[in-house]
Amino acid sequence: MKTYLLFADHDLPETPQPPWNAEAIVQDIELTSLVTAMAAGDRFLAEVASRVLLEPLTSIDEIRYRQEVLLDCQRQEAVARELYDLAVEAITRERKVYGWMSDRNPAAILQRAIEVLEIFVSLLRTLRQIAEEHQGDFDSAGFARFFQMTLHELDDAYFAEIDRHLRRLRFRNGVLISAGLDHGGKVTSLVLRRPQQDKQSFSDRLGALTHPAPSFRIADRDEAGANALTEMRGRGLNLVADALARSTEHILSFFAMMRTELGFYLGCLNAQHTLENKGHPFAFPDPAPAGQYAFRSDALYDVSLAFVSDDPVTGNDVRADGKPLIMVTGANRGGKSTFLRSVGLAQLMMQAGMFVAADSLSLSVTSGLFTHFKREEDDSMTSGKFDEELVRMRDVALHLKPGGIMLFNESFAATNEREGSEIGRQVIHALLDNDIRVIFVTHQYDLAHSFTGSADAYYLRAERERTFKLIEGEPLPTSYGDDLYQRIFGKDPHTVAAQPAS
């Protein structure tokens, strides 16, 4: 049994496969706030959300597949949560089944497996009932397949066979085992046998009284004989105990995958409700092929900031279709870094099959998200800050591949502007030549201005008035030093300079 709710042709792989730069991505675009909102206090949901977000899809068909499943969950949230709770109940109740010494005792293994299977059968019946009642309420290919599989696999014949096996495995009439003796007189070839008839007829019972089968009885104090009989019984039960334990593990793995894959969608619903309560918009994005360099948004905002702030969050309109380079300049604290994070978060959310924090968004899928943000000074560094920037850039370059997206935030600013701008230009040209989209936030006018007039470049600028909204516009030859002086010293530098010396 498969769930096929995250992928059309397979389940989520058991082993996580995070990108090599997962830690940097989480730190730079502040992914933790999104994961926390999706988890809503549930550690398991946090793990699922973090994993799925950091293993982005690259197929547009797969992205749309998840979007359709999530739409179903939005429309039928109560049913989706009921299915998730059912999976959680199966896992929780299985863990509570007593299993002391069951790893060494075949009879104990068998008894535990029977108890677990009885629990699972009850929950599988509930699952089939949900499928029968709500199959027609879901439209996505993912849920359609899930419910069809449930009704096909969990039919009346399946439950009848399970019930039949469970009755036999209780061995109410004892255990029938055949055995032989080797040349040394030791027991060999122990085989568990199925009784010829589950219920004996009257004539059979009468015949057993008049012509009893050969038998013997272990004396009450014959401890060695009792242990030998127990050992033979265990050896006879071993194969069936192992087979039944494997069957319960198979059903358990189904419930575990069902919990994991539905858990991602429930995390999406948790984040959605938080945005709704705060009055923030969201929409399903339109994914485009990587080579198109699509990027068109209305009111794209930083979703992580929206989760942690009670103030309104400003969104940005972008019209950068076909532009592999986006240069962002302008005033300090004007919303440039916030915009960069909003792009990174939207990229991961879209390629996870989620909605995004915008009124609308069309964005190309990427082969990988890479970041190079400025870091705070670290006293433990053995080299300078600029050297550390170059080392990180080298590590990124070793993993880049065509179709990726690279986010720079004030990179190469730890040296003088002439040297930093030249390094930045060479890096940008190298990335563009290898079909990698670049979004670069910088205060270096020389670097930003050098791409003006290029058909590949699109410019955004933070306004001096601190509206936190970016506008289309080429860089201005100013660093707003007056603003910085007033913010730090609380005085107008021109007024101070005009005062006569005392």
Percent of the chain past pLDDT 70, that is, above it, reads: 79
Q: Tell me, what's the pLDDT at 502?
A: 44
pTM score: 0.84
Nearest to 333 by CA among 493, 479, 450, 489: 479
For the stretch 320-376, pLDDT in tens is 999 999 999 998 888 999 999 999 999 999 999 999 999 999 999 999 999 999 887
| 343 vs 106, higher pLDDT | 343
Q: Tell me, what's the pLDDT at 178?
A: 62
Q: Tell me, what's the pLDDT at 167?
A: 73
- What is the pLDDT confidence band of residue 150, given thresholds at 50, 70 and 90? very high
Q: Where are the domains of the chain?
A: 1-17+55-179+187-198+217-279, 281-498
Q: Tell me, what's the pLDDT at 385?
A: 84
Q: Tell me, what's the pLDDT at 496?
A: 54
Name, in order, each residue with C-beta under 8 angstroms of 113's C-beta and a sequence gap of 6 or more.
241, 244, 245, 247, 248
Distance CA 443, CA 477 (A): 10
pLDDT of residue 93 exceeding 70, the answer is yes
For the stretch 213-227, pLDDT in tens is 666 677 777 676 666
Q: Tell me, what's the pLDDT at 164?
A: 78
Contact 237, 107 (CB under 8 A): yes
For the stretch 168-203, pLDDT in tens is 766 666 666 666 677 766 766 666 666 655 566 666
Q: Which helix (H) or strand (E) holds 207?
A: helix 202-210
pLDDT of residue 379 exceeding 60, the answer is no
For the stretch 284-305, pLDDT in tens is 999 999 889 999 999 999 999 9
- The set of long-range contacts for 269-275, using a CB threshold of 8 Å and a minimum separation of 24, is 269/73, 269/74, 269/77, 269/80, 270/37, 270/38, 270/39, 270/40, 270/45, 271/34, 271/37, 271/38, 271/303, 271/307, 271/354, 272/74, 272/355, 274/37, 274/307, 275/303, 275/306, 275/357
Q: Tell me, what's the pLDDT at 5?
A: 97
Name, in order, each residue with C-beta under 8 angstroms of 195's C-beta and a sequence gap of 6 or more.
168, 173, 176
The per-residue pLDDT of the chain, averaged, comes to 86
* Lowest pLDDT segment from 224-238, 281-295, 420-434, 457-471: 224-238
Residue the block writes with tokens 């009755």: 167
For the stretch 33-89, pLDDT in tens is 999 999 999 999 999 999 999 999 999 999 999 999 999 999 999 999 999 999 999
Rg (C-alpha) for the chain, rounded Å, is 33
pLDDT of residue 402 exceeding 70, the answer is yes
pLDDT of residue 244 exceeding 90, the answer is no
Looking at domain 281-498, which CATH architecture does it have?
3-Layer(aba) Sandwich (3.40)
Distance CA 247, CA 464 (A): 67
* Lowest pLDDT segment from 34-43, 116-125, 194-203, 269-278: 194-203
Residue 123 to residues 99, 110, 159, 309, 352, Cα–Cα distance (Å): 20, 20, 12, 42, 30
